[in-house]
Amino acid sequence: MSACPESVDILVLGGGGREHALCWKLKQSPRCGRLLCAPGNAGIAEVARCVALDVTNPKAVVDFVAANGIALVVVGPEAPLVAGVADALRAAGVPVVGPSAAAAELEASKGFTKDLCAQHDIPTARFRRFASAADAHHYVAVHPLPVVVKADGLAGGKGVTVAESNEEGLAALAEIHGPVVVEQCLEGPEASLFILTDGETVRVLPTAQDHKRLRDGDEGPNTGGMGAISPSPRLTPALQAQAMERIVLPTLAAMKARGTPFQGFLYAGLMLTTDGPMLIEYNVRLGDPEAQVLMLRLESDAVELMWAAATGSLGAVDPVWSKDAAVTVVMAAKGYPWRPVAGTVIDGISAAEALGCHVFHAGTKRSEDGRLVAAGGRVLNITALGHDISEARALAYAAIRKIRWHGGHFRRDIGKTA
């Protein structure tokens, strides 16, 4: 435990819209010293120094931190955590926001999390684990419908199939290499619950809601997320309290009892069933694009908050959140999520921001002649605050009209039904 220094040199790991939002918020703090981001992107380069670094190599990260006098590391995506980057940093005495590899199993292995739920009576879909697709074949062939087939490990959001027929379930199974989890299908609206913990104190973040499907009206394939709103109108304070009591707090207690306490951001994907909230999955990080709306609503000093979370002093920091609502609309490159087209030129960001929104960059870079070009699937996150969701959404869509980019597409209904 230690008080936050007056000036903290910070390294953020990641290079998407979530990390741009984190860097943007950290940079506003008077305590933000040098701000570095690996690998970053063209938008992050406006607030931080972007550096090339193998973020999934624990030794490379520790060496870089030592050589550059970094005092705090904030990890955005799951891959460095699963690779043990937070363990290596903690062993080297560097404060870090993000769990150990052992605690990151909550995201890295669905089977691990399902077993933990079974052992501690945490509500989740009934399930069975199998060592391989072949072992699961008969079970999937005769399972009542719909049947949910999941790859056990990290699959970049592509490892889950909700199959309406046993044939479809078997086809999904055939694509999986490695262990499998087969689940009962839950019904109800989905919502996400976010917390930040230093291993002892738990701070509940505002609720948020992702829009995972590619097209308006929740049609089309699942994506990493095409937009988000905060607060979520679905996750009422009563349901949130119930989910904390029955799901998140027992999980944190179980992780502590195993000797692998969780530290960092934890995000529970929930299904709000008629039997109450049930756990679909955990992520051991902030969601993307949920982080963009959450960072916009954070009123407290982000450096003090992250420092406290990384040094076991979160008991002394209770973050304040704006009463305003936030909406972010993802602009993706044409072809996303299959084969996004790279290199198309984007203009009009300053005009969009002049309306009062924030344009966070996800996949962008500068071309050789200095123009902003698309360099990923999800490319921009047009993010706005308002007194309510409808005001925030009106501003975000007004800003989108200022952006001149022929290579992009976006959903027109983010936050519409909220």
* Chain residues that interact with ligand AMP, rule: CB under 6 A: 125, 148, 157, 160, 162, 183, 185-186, 190, 212, 269, 280-281
The least distance separating ligand AMP from the CB of residue 110, rounded to whole angstroms, comes to 7
The least distance separating ligand AMP from the CB of residue 211, rounded to whole angstroms, comes to 11
Beta strand spans in 27-146 (E): 32-39, 49-50, 72-75, 96-97, 127-130
Closest among 239, 295, 297 to 265, alpha carbons compared: 295
* Residue 280 interacts with, from ligand AMP, ligand GLY, none (CB under 5-8 Å by kind): ligand AMP
Q: Which residues contact 150 (CB under 8 A, 6 or more apart)?
A: 110, 159, 160, 161, 180, 181, 182, 183
The least distance separating ligand AMP from the CB of residue 136, rounded to whole angstroms, comes to 15
* Residue 288 interacts with, from ligand AMP, ligand GLY, none (CB under 5-8 Å by kind): ligand GLY
Closer residue to ligand AMP (CB): 148 or 308: 148
* Residue 317 interacts with, from ligand AMP, ligand GLY, none (CB under 5-8 Å by kind): none
CA-based diameter of the chain, in Å? 62
Strand (E) or helix (H) holding 5: none
Closer residue to ligand AMP (CB): 199 or 269: 269
* Residue 210 interacts with, from ligand AMP, ligand GLY, none (CB under 5-8 Å by kind): ligand GLY
Closer residue to ligand AMP (CB): 280 or 326: 280
* Residue 183 interacts with, from ligand GLY, ligand AMP, none (CB under 5-8 Å by kind): ligand AMP
Closer residue to ligand GLY (CB): 225 or 407: 225
Kindly report the number of other CB atoms within 10 A of residue 237's CB atom. Answer: 9
The least distance separating ligand GLY from the CB of residue 267, rounded to whole angstroms, comes to 7
- Which residues does residue 195 pair with via DSSP β-bridges, in sequence order? 204, 266
Closest among 121, 124, 97, 240 to 183, alpha carbons compared: 124
Closer residue to ligand GLY (CB): 58 or 224: 224
The least distance separating ligand AMP from the CB of residue 272, rounded to whole angstroms, comes to 12
* Residue 19 interacts with, from ligand GLY, ligand AMP, none (CB under 5-8 Å by kind): none
User: What's the Cα-to-Cα distance from 10 to each of 7, 32, 69, 94, rounded to whole Å?
Assistant: 10, 7, 9, 11
* Residue 359 interacts with, from ligand GLY, ligand AMP, none (CB under 5-8 Å by kind): none
Closer residue to ligand AMP (CB): 5 or 221: 221
The least distance separating ligand AMP from the CB of residue 239, rounded to whole angstroms, comes to 17
Q: Which residues contact 217 (CB under 8 A, 6 or more apart)?
A: 413
**DSSP one-letter code for 316:** G
The least distance separating ligand GLY from the CB of residue 142, rounded to whole angstroms, comes to 32
The least distance separating ligand AMP from the CB of residue 18, rounded to whole angstroms, comes to 16
Angle of CA points 218, 224, 226, to nearest 5°: 50
SS (H, E, C) 181-193: EEEECCCCCEEEE
Residue numbers of the site for ligand GLY (CB under 6 A)?
210, 224-225, 283, 287-288, 290
Phi and psi at residue 210, to the nearest 5°: -85, 165
**DSSP one-letter code for 41:** -
Angle of CA points 100, 102, 108, to nearest 5°: 100
Reported as half-sphere exposure (CB side, CA atoms, 13 A), residue 351 has a value of 11
Closer residue to ligand AMP (CB): 40 or 337: 337
* Residue 362 interacts with, from ligand AMP, ligand GLY, none (CB under 5-8 Å by kind): none
Query: How far apart are the C-alpha atoms of 351 and 363, rounded to whole Å?
Result: 20
Closer residue to ligand GLY (CB): 140 or 291: 291
Reported as half-sphere exposure (CB side, CA atoms, 13 A), residue 380 has a value of 31
Closer residue to ligand GLY (CB): 303 or 362: 362
* Residue 251 interacts with, from ligand GLY, ligand AMP, none (CB under 5-8 Å by kind): none
Nearest-Å Rg of the Cα atoms of the chain is: 21
